[in-house]
Amino acid sequence: MRSCTSRRFIPRNAFALFAAVSMLAAVIGGAPRAYAAAEVKVLGHLEVPAKASIMPICTDPVVGDVLSQDLRVQNRGGASLVVTVTVNTKVLSPDVSLEEVSPGDPSIAGMLKDLGAEVPSIGTAAGAAPDPYEEAARKQGTMPDDPLTAQFREYNAIKQSRRSGPATYDGLPENKIYDTAIIAHATISGSASELKVVAVVHPGEDVDTAKRLVAEEIANAILH
C-alpha cells in the first residue's frame, strides 16, 4: 500500500504561475505542496487494468460530476469496471464523534491529525452534553424516586443540557467557525484495492472547491 501523501491546493484558474513554481519547489525539496485552498491527504491506491473502461458511481454530486468529466475522455475499449466513491462531509464541531466522521475506519483519525485538524473523540463526542432523558432514566433505575421527585430531576437535567450545549459565535454557521472534513473512499469492482482521500477545509474556504480537488485525486489515481 502506498504511503500517505498530503498537499494543499489552489483553484486551477487562480495564481497559476505561483502554483507552478511552488509545485516545482516542492518536488525538488521533497516537501508537501502548499497552496491556499484545502489541505488534502491520500492513502492507498486503486488497481486499474491498463485498458479498462471506468464508470464512476459517487454519493456526492460535486465529486461525481468531476469524475464523470475526467473519465469520459478516456475511451480505452477494454473491460468495463465500476469505481464506487463514497463521500462523507462533516463539520468538525465539538459535538461530532469520529464514528460520525468516518464510520468503522480509524485510519482517518491519523490522516486528519496529519492535516492539522482537531480529531474527534471515539464514541460520544468530546464536550457533548449527555441525553437528558437517558441520564434521568439511569438515575431512576439505580435510585427510584417518587413521581414528583422524578419529574423535578428530569426538568433539571433538561435545563442543564440546554446550558451546556455547544455555543456559536454571533449566530455564524458552524462551517464558518470550525474546520470541515471531506472523506472519500474509492473502490473498484473486481479488486480489493482501496483509495482514501481526506480534505480539510478551513473556516471561510469553499467546500465545493475542495470536493473538486478530492475528485481530481481519485481521477489521477485511476488514469495514471
- Going residue by residue through the chain (224 aa), what tens digit of pLDDT does each one get? 455 666 655 444 443 443 444 444 433 333 334 445 678 999 999 998 878 888 999 999 999 999 999 988 766 667 888 999 999 999 998 888 888 888 888 899 999 999 988 887 775 444 445 555 555 555 555 555 566 666 666 766 665 655 444 555 556 678 788 899 999 999 999 889 999 999 999 988 899 999 999 999 999 998 87
Domain ranges of the chain: 5-124+172-223, 132-163
Cell (9 digits) for 36: 491556499
Burial (CB count <10 Å: 0-12, 13-18, 19+), residue 81: middle
Phi-psi region of 45 (alpha: psi -120 to 50; beta: other; left: phi over 0): beta
The pLDDT of residue 50 is: 79
Report the 10 Å Cβ neighbour count for 27. 10
Taking the C-alpha atoms of residue 132 and residue 111, their distance in angstroms, rounded to an integer, is 34
The pLDDT of residue 30 is: 33
Cα–Cα distances in angstroms (integers) from residue 146 to residues 12, 154, 159, 198, in the given order: 67, 12, 20, 52
Taking the C-alpha atoms of residue 211 and residue 79, their distance in angstroms, rounded to an integer, is 28
50 Cβ neighbours under 8 A, 6+ residues apart:
76, 78
The pLDDT of residue 171 is: 65
Taking the C-alpha atoms of residue 120 and residue 118, their distance in angstroms, rounded to an integer, is 6
Taking the C-alpha atoms of residue 7 and residue 118, their distance in angstroms, rounded to an integer, is 18
Taking the C-alpha atoms of residue 63 and residue 57, their distance in angstroms, rounded to an integer, is 10
Cell (9 digits) for 145: 424516586
